[in-house]
Structure 1
Amino acid sequence: MVLHFLIRGRVQGVGFRWFVHREAAELSLRGWVRNTDTGEVEVLVAGDPTALADLRTELHKGSRGSRVDKVIEHELDESEAASLTAFKIEGAW
Protein backbone atom coordinates (compact mmCIF):
# COMPACT_ATOMS: atom_id res chain seq x y z
CA MET A 1 0.00 0.00 0.00
CA VAL A 2 1.29 3.49 -0.88
CA LEU A 3 0.02 6.70 0.72
CA HIS A 4 0.73 10.38 0.20
CA PHE A 5 0.08 12.79 3.08
CA LEU A 6 0.12 16.58 3.19
CA ILE A 7 0.13 17.90 6.76
CA ARG A 8 -0.95 21.47 7.47
CA GLY A 9 -0.52 23.51 10.63
CA ARG A 10 2.54 24.50 12.62
CA VAL A 11 4.68 21.67 11.27
CA GLN A 12 7.88 23.37 10.11
CA GLY A 13 10.66 24.37 12.48
CA VAL A 14 9.31 22.16 15.28
CA GLY A 15 11.01 18.82 14.57
CA PHE A 16 8.04 17.38 12.71
CA ARG A 17 10.10 15.76 9.93
CA TRP A 18 12.35 14.06 12.50
CA PHE A 19 9.25 12.87 14.36
CA VAL A 20 7.80 11.36 11.15
CA HIS A 21 11.15 9.75 10.33
CA ARG A 22 11.37 8.10 13.75
CA GLU A 23 7.78 6.82 13.62
CA ALA A 24 8.08 5.49 10.06
CA ALA A 25 11.43 3.81 10.72
CA GLU A 26 10.06 2.09 13.83
CA LEU A 27 7.19 0.77 11.70
CA SER A 28 9.60 -0.47 8.96
CA LEU A 29 7.99 1.75 6.34
CA ARG A 30 9.71 2.97 3.16
CA GLY A 31 9.54 6.48 1.73
CA TRP A 32 10.36 10.06 2.58
CA VAL A 33 9.25 13.21 4.37
CA ARG A 34 10.02 16.80 3.37
CA ASN A 35 8.97 20.40 3.92
CA THR A 36 7.08 22.18 1.17
CA ASP A 37 7.62 25.76 0.04
CA THR A 38 4.13 26.61 1.28
CA GLY A 39 4.70 25.65 4.94
CA GLU A 40 3.33 22.12 4.95
CA VAL A 41 5.03 18.77 5.40
CA GLU A 42 4.69 16.15 2.67
CA VAL A 43 5.06 12.39 3.23
CA LEU A 44 5.21 9.57 0.68
CA VAL A 45 5.18 6.20 2.38
CA ALA A 46 4.76 2.54 1.50
CA GLY A 47 4.32 -0.57 3.58
CA ASP A 48 1.98 -2.81 5.46
CA PRO A 49 -1.57 -1.39 5.80
CA THR A 50 -1.55 -1.88 9.59
CA ALA A 51 1.75 0.01 9.95
CA LEU A 52 0.43 2.76 7.67
CA ALA A 53 -2.67 3.08 9.87
CA ASP A 54 -0.40 3.48 12.90
CA LEU A 55 1.59 6.20 11.13
CA ARG A 56 -1.63 7.96 10.10
CA THR A 57 -2.68 8.11 13.77
CA GLU A 58 0.68 9.63 14.74
CA LEU A 59 0.53 12.20 11.93
CA HIS A 60 -2.81 13.43 13.25
CA LYS A 61 -1.38 13.73 16.78
CA GLY A 62 1.82 15.46 15.66
CA SER A 63 5.09 15.96 17.45
CA ARG A 64 5.66 17.85 20.66
CA GLY A 65 5.62 21.54 19.77
CA SER A 66 3.70 21.07 16.53
CA ARG A 67 0.04 21.77 15.78
CA VAL A 68 -1.65 19.66 13.13
CA ASP A 69 -4.62 21.47 11.60
CA LYS A 70 -5.30 19.14 8.68
CA VAL A 71 -4.00 15.91 7.17
CA ILE A 72 -4.80 15.37 3.49
CA GLU A 73 -4.36 11.77 2.37
CA HIS A 74 -4.33 10.03 -1.00
CA GLU A 75 -3.79 6.39 -1.81
CA LEU A 76 -1.44 5.91 -4.75
CA ASP A 77 -0.82 3.06 -7.15
CA GLU A 78 1.61 0.40 -5.95
CA SER A 79 3.96 1.34 -8.80
CA GLU A 80 4.73 4.59 -6.94
CA ALA A 81 6.63 2.52 -4.35
CA ALA A 82 9.09 1.04 -6.86
CA SER A 83 11.87 3.54 -6.14
CA LEU A 84 11.25 3.94 -2.39
CA THR A 85 13.96 2.79 -0.01
CA ALA A 86 14.46 3.01 3.74
CA PHE A 87 12.52 5.97 5.13
CA LYS A 88 14.48 9.23 4.88
CA ILE A 89 14.20 12.96 5.39
CA GLU A 90 14.56 14.87 2.11
CA GLY A 91 16.06 18.34 2.17
CA ALA A 92 17.70 17.91 5.58
CA TRP A 93 21.25 18.99 5.89
Structure 2
Amino acid sequence: MIQHRTFRIHGRVQGVFFRQSARRRAHELGLHGYARNNDDGSVTIEAEGPAEALQALETWCHHGPPAARVDRVSVQAGEVQGYASFDVQH
Protein backbone atom coordinates (compact mmCIF):
# COMPACT_ATOMS: atom_id res chain seq x y z
CA MET A 1 0.00 0.00 0.00
CA ILE A 2 1.41 3.37 -1.06
CA GLN A 3 1.69 6.00 1.66
CA HIS A 4 2.77 9.66 1.68
CA ARG A 5 5.15 11.40 4.10
CA THR A 6 6.49 14.92 4.31
CA PHE A 7 9.86 15.22 6.04
CA ARG A 8 11.23 18.58 7.19
CA ILE A 9 14.92 18.45 7.99
CA HIS A 10 16.60 21.19 10.03
CA GLY A 11 20.31 21.82 10.62
CA ARG A 12 23.15 22.34 8.19
CA VAL A 13 21.30 20.73 5.29
CA GLN A 14 21.69 23.21 2.43
CA GLY A 15 24.86 23.37 0.35
CA VAL A 16 25.89 19.86 1.43
CA PHE A 17 24.25 17.85 -1.41
CA PHE A 18 21.34 16.89 0.84
CA ARG A 19 18.70 17.05 -1.91
CA GLN A 20 20.78 15.13 -4.44
CA SER A 21 21.67 12.50 -1.84
CA ALA A 22 18.00 12.22 -0.85
CA ARG A 23 17.10 11.63 -4.50
CA ARG A 24 19.70 8.86 -4.75
CA ARG A 25 18.43 7.23 -1.53
CA ALA A 26 14.80 7.54 -2.68
CA HIS A 27 15.69 5.84 -5.99
CA GLU A 28 17.38 3.00 -4.08
CA LEU A 29 14.22 2.59 -2.01
CA GLY A 30 11.82 2.88 -4.97
CA LEU A 31 10.19 6.07 -3.66
CA HIS A 32 8.70 8.94 -5.67
CA GLY A 33 8.36 12.60 -4.72
CA TYR A 34 10.75 15.52 -4.43
CA ALA A 35 13.30 17.35 -2.28
CA ARG A 36 13.55 21.14 -2.07
CA ASN A 37 15.34 23.83 -0.09
CA ASN A 38 13.27 26.16 2.07
CA ASP A 39 13.90 29.85 2.73
CA ASP A 40 14.56 29.15 6.44
CA GLY A 41 17.54 26.89 5.63
CA SER A 42 15.68 23.61 6.07
CA VAL A 43 14.95 20.95 3.44
CA THR A 44 11.54 19.46 2.68
CA ILE A 45 11.20 15.99 1.24
CA GLU A 46 7.85 14.66 0.09
CA ALA A 47 7.97 10.95 -0.63
CA GLU A 48 5.53 8.20 -1.53
CA GLY A 49 5.88 4.45 -1.44
CA PRO A 50 5.57 1.45 0.89
CA ALA A 51 5.71 2.12 4.63
CA GLU A 52 8.98 0.18 5.05
CA ALA A 53 10.73 2.27 2.40
CA LEU A 54 9.42 5.50 3.92
CA GLN A 55 10.73 4.38 7.31
CA ALA A 56 14.14 3.70 5.77
CA LEU A 57 14.16 7.19 4.23
CA GLU A 58 13.20 8.71 7.58
CA THR A 59 16.11 6.90 9.23
CA TRP A 60 18.44 8.24 6.51
CA CYS A 61 17.09 11.80 7.01
CA HIS A 62 18.36 11.80 10.60
CA HIS A 63 21.98 11.86 9.36
CA GLY A 64 21.84 12.66 5.60
CA PRO A 65 25.02 12.91 3.52
CA PRO A 66 28.46 13.14 5.21
CA ALA A 67 28.73 16.96 5.18
CA ALA A 68 25.28 17.51 6.70
CA ARG A 69 24.50 18.17 10.35
CA VAL A 70 20.88 17.24 11.09
CA ASP A 71 19.42 18.86 14.21
CA ARG A 72 15.79 17.85 13.85
CA VAL A 73 13.46 15.92 11.54
CA SER A 74 9.68 16.32 11.58
CA VAL A 75 7.45 13.83 9.79
CA GLN A 76 3.86 14.24 8.70
CA ALA A 77 1.59 11.77 6.91
CA GLY A 78 -0.48 13.10 4.04
CA GLU A 79 -2.62 12.23 1.04
CA VAL A 80 -0.98 10.30 -1.78
CA GLN A 81 -0.23 12.66 -4.69
CA GLY A 82 0.76 10.06 -7.29
CA TYR A 83 4.28 11.29 -8.05
CA ALA A 84 5.84 9.48 -11.04
CA SER A 85 9.51 10.07 -10.15
CA PHE A 86 11.72 11.67 -7.51
CA ASP A 87 12.93 15.16 -8.39
CA VAL A 88 15.19 17.81 -6.93
CA GLN A 89 13.41 21.16 -6.96
CA HIS A 90 15.29 24.46 -7.04
1:85 Cα deviation after fit: 1.6
% identical equivalent positions: 38
Q: Which protein is richer in strand relative to its size?
A: 2
Runs of 4+ in structure 1 off by over 6 angstroms are none
SS of 1:4's equivalent in the other structure is: strand
SS of 1:12's equivalent in the other structure is: coil
- Whether 2:55 is the aligned partner of 1:56: answer no
For 2:54 and 2:84, locate their aligned partners in 1 and report how far apart those are by CA, in whole Å.
16
State the TM-score, normalizing by the size of structure 2: 0.94
Give deviations 1:1-40, integer Å, cap 9, x for gaps. 1000110000000111111010001111010000001100
For 2:19 and 2:46, locate their aligned partners in 1 and report how far apart those are by CA, in whole Å.
12
Unpaired runs of 5+ in structure 2? none
Give deviations 1:42-69, integer Å, cap 9, x for gaps. 0111001011111111001211110000
2:34 alignment partner, one of 27, 32, 35: 32
Unpaired runs of 5+ in structure 1? none
Q: Which protein is richer in helix relative to its size?
A: 1
